């Protein structure tokens, strides 16, 4: 759509069809009175789309190469035979099309996108049918190849026709449920062929699919995925335009991660930029893989959320949710987790894994470096008044601090989806060997779900204090041969859970669903979310009441103290002694003074109790 919108911007909002008509008219045609829109476009057409200009650009004059000729042929592709078409090899057009910013290019593109094609392509897009768009591309491609003397295969980054149809081309994400279903159906179809259509129920299943009703060759082609859209084809400078870079928050094997502020929405994001240019390299597929996985999986609380991705200078950039707590690995460098924290970690990561696995996908690189934390202040913290001088004077700053610290809600999220693969068609890129089970290193991919469970087991072991994990050696083998040492600070049941999760036999390991039945998680899991949030609300209310009481008590103490001071100064004033009324009141006050002190004492005691209540 980039080219289209460029035209629309220049035209100040006129319709694309109008522009096409203007731009596609032969340069020799007399200038006609046109709207200001057309006048801005016509000079481009007259200057750059003339055959002479093409000649200059290409360094050849071959009339067969005339873009006008090609245009007239292509615009009537359904009516005319290809005999009058250019017989030049495709590379000329490839070059012409790749010069996206040269004035000749728009014309060339428009030639291939005549009104008829535009209409049909738009229709395809309106119906959100990638397959249809791909079909159009294919038909154009075959037409183009017919017109050439020697058809050549176009390399991935020099695909003139794909560029021509760039507006209508998009990658097919292999991880979406639709793609997985299509894959299944394809398999079913093949099986039916082999089984000689004997399975009636399967036939009925296929017949129920309207797309597969039409059993002709065309429909088969329609379902073939288009070629992968290369990163180079989507280079858009965007990082500097849309974001303010705040800091570098991490460096991994594959990418540098920056904390960035979006200029428009004012929110902070983590933008991961590939360290090396990936377009056209062997890492391109891996980079795209991460985007595909994020796009499908970024909608769960325990998976890092994905916002967008694009290519710039042949680098891949992925805009993700910024996790303000950093990675679990960086937390573990400071301290290990206690059992109550480990339970939360297990609960969250297992939830994330259950979600990933429910999509028939596996992470394949689960580790502390790829688990991120978000710390969100609960509602309470916002209600808490800021610490005043008084708080420090009265020694209550500690309590406030404690309360505010306990108000952070931590969520663990699975990130770095660069190794995600489908269990149905696994393409395993081995992750970090410290967390991989033996069977994966032996190329046994029959139980990929359980490889993630193994990695989670070792992550828990590391987080509990068993780390750093070995990369090789006897210790490495022990962790994979059912000899995981007990962590002394953990309960028996937690140690047992780690052992079963890291069992050498993948079948013995729990699944991301059955793990919730384990007693370690059972107590947490047996309570519904509603129940837990209700309990949380009750506890928050209790805290609120106690806080209010604490504040009231402080106020009362203060007012008594002020009264006491006033009385004291009154008592010491020599003037008052001369006054009879004063003497009378003094006698009364003298009587009251001990009881006032007593009251102050008892208030202090009560205050202490409130403070103790807070602590426990
Ligand atoms: N969403 C995020 N929020 C906060 N920090 C992040 C985020 N994503 C990544 N980081 C930081 O950047 C580091 C590297 O990120 P990431 O793991 O995605 O890169 P990588 O190159 O794929 O790493 P590797 O392949 O070595 O695991 C992380 O360890 C973390 O410190
Ligand atoms: Mg990582």
> Which tops the pLDDT comparison, 99 or 205?
205
> Which tops the pLDDT comparison, 234 or 109?
234
Torsion of Cα atoms, 150 then 155 then 156 then 161, to 10°? -30
Q: Which residues are CB-contacts of 330 (< 8 A; sequence separation ≥ 6)?
A: none
Averaged pLDDT of the chain: 67
Condensed to tens digits (0 to 9), the pLDDT of residues 279-338 reads 778 788 888 999 999 999 978 999 999 999 998 888 999 999 999 999 999 999 999 999
* 13 has pLDDT over 60: no
How much is the pLDDT for 47? Answer: 37
* 340 has pLDDT over 80: yes
What interface predicted TM-score (ipTM) does this complex get?
A: 0.97
How much is the pLDDT for 34? Answer: 35
* 71 has pLDDT over 60: no
**CA–CA separation, 289 vs 297, rounded Å?**
12
* 206 has pLDDT over 50: no
Tell me the ligand closest to 257's alpha carbon. Answer: 1
Secondary structure of residue 313 in the 3-state scheme: coil
Ligand 1 binding site (Cβ under 6 Å of any ligand atom): 249-250, 252-255, 257, 270, 272, 304, 320-323, 326-327, 369-370, 372, 415-416, 418
- Output the CA 369–ligand 2 centroid distance in Å: 6
Instruction: Answer yes or no: are the C-beta atoms of 339 and 489 closer than 8 Å.
Output: yes
> Which tops the pLDDT comparison, 543 or 37?
543
> Which residues are within 5 Å of ligand 2 (an ion), measured at CB?
252, 369-370, 416
Instruction: Answer yes or no: are the C-beta atoms of 463 and 339 closer than 8 Å.
Output: no
How much is the pLDDT for 347? Answer: 93
How much is the pLDDT for 595? Answer: 54
**CA–CA separation, 464 vs 457, rounded Å?**
11
How much is the pLDDT for 175? Answer: 80
Condensed to tens digits (0 to 9), the pLDDT of residues 412-463 reads 999 999 999 999 888 888 889 999 999 999 999 999 999 999 999 999 999 9
Query: What ranges in 298-434 are assigned the alpha helix state H?
Result: 328-332, 339-358, 379-383, 389-393, 397-405
- Output the CA 252–ligand 2 centroid distance in Å: 5
Pocket test for ligand 1, best of 334, 363, 416, 417 (most atoms within 8 A of CB): 416
Weakest-pLDDT range from 234-243, 416-425, 472-481, 579-588: 579-588
Token pair 């779900």 in the structure block, residue:
449
Tell me the ligand closest to 330's alpha carbon. Answer: 1
Q: pLDDT band at residue 176, thresholds of 50, 70 and 90?
A: confident
Calculate the alpha carbon distances from 559 to 586, 590, 595 in Å: 20, 19, 15
Most confident segment among 31-35, 86-90, 215-219? 215-219
Condensed to tens digits (0 to 9), the pLDDT of residues 116-163 reads 333 333 333 333 334 434 444 444 444 333 433 343 433 334 444 444
Q: Which residues are CB-contacts of 37 (< 8 A; sequence separation ≥ 6)?
A: 11, 12, 14, 18, 19
* 257 has pLDDT over 50: yes
Structure tokens at 242: 């849309």
Query: Average pLDDT of 572-587?
Result: 52
Q: Which residues are CB-contacts of 273 (< 8 A; sequence separation ≥ 6)?
A: 239, 255, 256, 257, 258, 315, 316, 317
Residue having the nearest C-alpha atom to atom 12 of ligand 1: 250
Weakest-pLDDT range from 166-175, 258-267, 485-494: 166-175
Task: Report the run of H or E that residue 319 belongs to, with start and end.
Answer: strand 315-321
CATH T-level assignment (fold) for domain 326-380+402-526 = Transferase(Phosphotransferase); domain 1 (1.10.510)
Tell me the ligand closest to 256's alpha carbon. Answer: 1
Between CA 164 and CA 173, with CA 169 as vertex, the angle to 5 degrees is 155
* 110 has pLDDT over 70: no
How much is the pLDDT for 544? Answer: 80
Instruction: Answer yes or no: are the C-beta atoms of 104 and 54 closer than 8 Å.
Output: yes
Structure tokens at 196: 């000689």
Query: Average pLDDT of 259-274?
Result: 93
Most confident segment among 31-45, 393-407, 546-560? 546-560
Q: pLDDT band at residue 378, thresholds of 50, 70 and 90?
A: low
Q: pLDDT band at residue 224, thresholds of 50, 70 and 90?
A: very low
* 249 has pLDDT over 90: yes
Calculate the alpha carbon distances from 416 to 199, 239, 297, 451, 509 in Å: 42, 20, 11, 16, 24
Region label for 21, one of left (φ > 0), alpha (ψ between -120 and 50) or beta (otherwise) = alpha
DSSP readout, 357-382? HHTTEE-S--SGGGEEEEEEE-HHHH
Secondary structure of residue 412 in the 3-state scheme: strand
Peptide bond just before 615 cis, omega within 30 deg = no
Q: Which of 359, 324, 357 is nearest to 456 (CA)?
A: 357
Instruction: Answer yes or no: are the C-beta atoms of 490 and 464 closer than 8 Å.
Output: yes
Q: Which of 543, 549, 544 is nearest to 609 (CA)?
A: 549
Taking each helix axis from N to C terminus, what angle separates 51-58 and 67-75, rounded to the nearest 10 degrees?
Answer: 120
How much is the pLDDT for 504? Answer: 96
Instruction: Answer yes or no: are the C-beta atoms of 490 and 359 closer than 8 Å.
Output: no
Provide the CATH number for the domain formed by 238-321 in this structure: 3.30.200.20
How much is the pLDDT for 286? Answer: 82
Pocket test for ligand 1, best of 372, 374, 410 (most atoms within 8 A of CB): 372
Secondary structure of residue 556 in the 3-state scheme: helix
How much is the pLDDT for 371? Answer: 97
Q: Structural domain boundaries of the chain?
A: 238-321, 326-380+402-526
Query: Average pLDDT of 62-77?
Result: 35
| Beta pairing partners, 261 | 244, 268
How much is the pLDDT for 279? Answer: 78
* 195 has pLDDT over 90: no
DSSP state, residue 463: I
Q: pLDDT band at residue 536, thresholds of 50, 70 and 90?
A: confident
């Amino acid at each position: 759509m980039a080219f289209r919108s460029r035209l629309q911007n220049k035209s100040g909002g006129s319709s694309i069809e109008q522009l096409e008509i203007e731009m596609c008219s032969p340069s020799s045609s007399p200038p006609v009175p046109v709207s200001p829109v057309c006048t801005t476009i016509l000079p481009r057409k007259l200057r750059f789309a003339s055959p002479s200009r093409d000649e200059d650009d290409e360094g050849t004059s071959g009339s067969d190469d005339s873009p006008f000729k090609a245009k007239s042929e292509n615009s009537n592709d359904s009516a005319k035979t290809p005999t009058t078409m250019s017989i030049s090899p495709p590379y000329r057009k490839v070059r012409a099309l790749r010069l996206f910013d040269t004035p000749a290019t728009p014309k060339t593109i428009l030639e291939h996108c005549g009104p008829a094609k535009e209409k049909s392509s738009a229709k395809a897009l309106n119906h959100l049918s990638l397959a249809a768009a791909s079909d159009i591309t294919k038909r154009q491609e075959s037409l183009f190849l017919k017109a050439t003397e020697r058809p050549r295969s176009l390399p991935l980054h020099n695909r003139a026709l794909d560029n021509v149809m760039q507006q209508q081309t998009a990658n097919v994400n292999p991880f979406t449920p639709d793609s997985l279903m299509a894959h299944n159906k394809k398999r079913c179809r093949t099986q039916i062929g082999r089984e000689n259509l004997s399975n009636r129920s399967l036939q009925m299943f296929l017949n129920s699919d309207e797309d597969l009703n039409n059993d002709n060759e065309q429909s088969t082609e329609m379902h073939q995925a288009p070629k992968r859209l290369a990163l180079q084809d989507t280079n858009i400078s965007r990082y500097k335009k849309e974001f303010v870079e705040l800091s570098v928050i991490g460096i991994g094997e594959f990418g540098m991660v920056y904390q960035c502020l979006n200029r428009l929405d004012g929110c902070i994001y983590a933008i991961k930029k590939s360290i090396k240019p990936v377009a056209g390299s062997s890492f391109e597929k891996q980079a795209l893989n991460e985007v595909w996985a994020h796009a499908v999986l970024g909608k769960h609380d325990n998976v890092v959320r994905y916002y967008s991705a694009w290519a710039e200078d042949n680098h891949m950039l992925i805009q993700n949710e910024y996790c303000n707590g950093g990675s679990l690995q960086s937390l573990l460098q400071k301290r290990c987790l206690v059992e109550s924290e480990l339970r939360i970690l297990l609960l969250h990561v297992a939830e994330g894994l259950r979600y990933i696995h429910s999509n028939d996908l596996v992470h394949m690189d689960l580790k502390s470096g790829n688990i991120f934390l978000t710390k969100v202040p609960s509602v309470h913290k916002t209600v808490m008044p800021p610490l005043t001088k008084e708080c420090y004077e009265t020694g209550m700053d500690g309590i406030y601090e404690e309360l505010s610290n306990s108000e952070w809600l931590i969520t663990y999220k699975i990130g770095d989806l660069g190794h995600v693969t489908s269990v149905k068609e696994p393409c395993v890129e081995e992750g970090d060997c410290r967390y991989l089970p033996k069977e994966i290193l032996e190329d046994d991919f029959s139980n990929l779900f359980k490889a993630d469970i193994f990695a989670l087991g070792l992550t828990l072991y590391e987080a509990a204090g068993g780390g750093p994990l070995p990369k090789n050696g006897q210790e490495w083998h022990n962790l994979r041969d059912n000899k995981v040492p007990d962590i002394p600070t953990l309960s028996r049941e937690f140690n047992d859970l780690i052992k079963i999760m890291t069992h050498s036999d993948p079948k013995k390991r729990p699944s991301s669903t059955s793990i919730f039945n384990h007693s370690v998680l059972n107590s947490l899991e047996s309570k519904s979310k509603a129940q837990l949030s209700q309990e949380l609300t009750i506890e928050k209310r209790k805290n609120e009441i106690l806080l209010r009481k604490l504040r009231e008590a402080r106020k009362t103490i203060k007012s008594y103290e002020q009264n006491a001071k006033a009385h004291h100064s009154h008592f010491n004033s020599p003037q008052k002694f001369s006054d009879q009324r004063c003497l009378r009141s003094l006698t009364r006050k003298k009587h009251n003074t001990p009881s006032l002190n007593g009251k102050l004492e008892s208030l202090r005691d009560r205050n202490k109790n409130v403070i103790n209540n807070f602590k426990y």
